[in-house]
Amino acid sequence: MLLHSSLSSALPVRSYTSRQWPTGQVLPLVAGIIAVLLGSIALGTDIFVHYYNWVQMQKAADSAVLAGANYLPDDPARSIATAQTFAESNGVTAAEITSTTVAVNDLSITMVVQRTVPYYFAKVLGMSNATLQVSATAGPPPGGTSTVGCSSFSCVQSGTTPASCNNIGDCQLVPIGLDHNTVYVNGEQITLQQGQVGPGNWDLLALNGVGGNNLRNNIANGASQVVSVGDWILTEPGKKVGPVDQGIQDRIDQAQSVDPNGTFSSHAGNNPRVMVLPVVDWEHQNGRKNVQVDAFATVWLDSYSSGQVTVHFISQVIANSFGDPNAPNFGGVGHPVLSQ
């Protein structure tokens, strides 16, 4: 007991008490942290608002020039008007479109959009507004068209899904094979003669089936078939004046409803008078045989009479088609692509 008592008295006695921060130091620190956090959130909100506006402007400009490029190279005025309409329908005001221009070669269109976006929280830092600017350029790819008749631009790559052509003028590909010896001159009117080999002549093709009814539907509605340069296509022997005359008249009548003021130099993209003709090698062909596709020509249908088709050669984007720099150019150009 004596030993225990001695040891107890020799050991230091510790006092355990809770530690407290001095109140005067904590409050300024907490206030500073809160201020930094609020400032970061505020600036982040402003950045998000500006980024959101920039994304929407870029999307609008991209879709606008892609839509406008469908009228190049033949109709730059309609190309510009179409692009501006598309931009405005996608949230851009007319005042925000600072310029819409077509290149001197009429093969691309560029739009510049500018918007003033206010700061909300950054005003405490003296920042009131920011000017955002985007630009987009689109045009048909160089060269001619290598594949037509697809249901969408994405199916061009696989070539497996043809367009659905159920109504008059739905599609542009028609079963009239233009002789590959014909010289293409954009804007020139030419009368094509049926059944003779040589420049300026044509004959019938059996796209997606054979027979008179199929032929009339393929002319009136357009053919539901994917065709590429290099393909071999079956021919449709005989003049078949009735089905051809009826199918072409169907397209002319429908054009009066769709685009009554359309002309070969200025028309809506879906005007049924626009036809895509496979350009084929008719030499050594006799009866129902196969002929090879060399190119695709785009024409404006003027009239038809007893085996004579009068057209204007035009240069135009073919809907849901694929361009190729190596494909011969007979006026048909591929689906527009963004280049900037």
Non-local (6+) Cβ contacts of 322 within 8 A are 145, 146, 147, 150, 153, 156, 157, 334, 335
pLDDT in tens, 117-136: 987 766 656 667 889 999 99
Rounded Cα distance, 213 and 216, in Å: 5
pLDDT in tens, 201-224: 999 999 988 888 999 999 999 999
pLDDT in tens, 8-66: 445 455 554 555 545 556 666 555 565 555 555 556 677 888 889 999 999 999 999 99
For residue 51, the SS3 value is helix
pLDDT in tens, 234-279: 999 888 889 999 999 999 999 999 999 999 999 998 999 999 999 9
Q: 6 pLDDT exceeds 50? A: no
Instruction: Provide the pLDDT confidence category of residue 81 given band limits of 50, 70 and 90.
Output: very high
Nearest CA to 326 among 146, 181, 158? Answer: 146
* Cβ pair 97, 84 in contact under 8 A: yes
* Cβ pair 220, 246 in contact under 8 A: yes
Rounded Cα distance, 60 and 70, in Å: 16
End-to-end CA distance of the chain: 96
Q: Give the helix/strand (H/E) hosting 40.
A: helix 23-68
For residue 32, what are its two tokens? 């500073």
Instruction: Provide the pLDDT confidence category of residue 4 given band limits of 50, 70 and 90.
Output: very low
- Whose tokens are 């790819």? That residue is 141
Neighbour-count burial for 29-63, b at 16+ CB within 10 Å, e otherwise? eeeeeeeeeeeeebeeebeebbeebbebbeebbbb
Apex 321 CA angle, 319 and 326, nearest 5: 140
Q: What mean pLDDT is reported for the chain?
A: 85
Per-residue pLDDT, 3: 42
Q: How far is CA 50 from CA 53, 115, 116, 133, in A?
A: 5, 10, 10, 11
For the chain, percent of residues with pLDDT exceeding 70 = 81
Per-residue pLDDT, 287: 67
* Cβ pair 274, 242 in contact under 8 A: no
Q: Is the pTM of this model over 0.85?
A: no
Rounded Cα distance, 228 and 323, in Å: 11
DSSP classification of residue 65: H
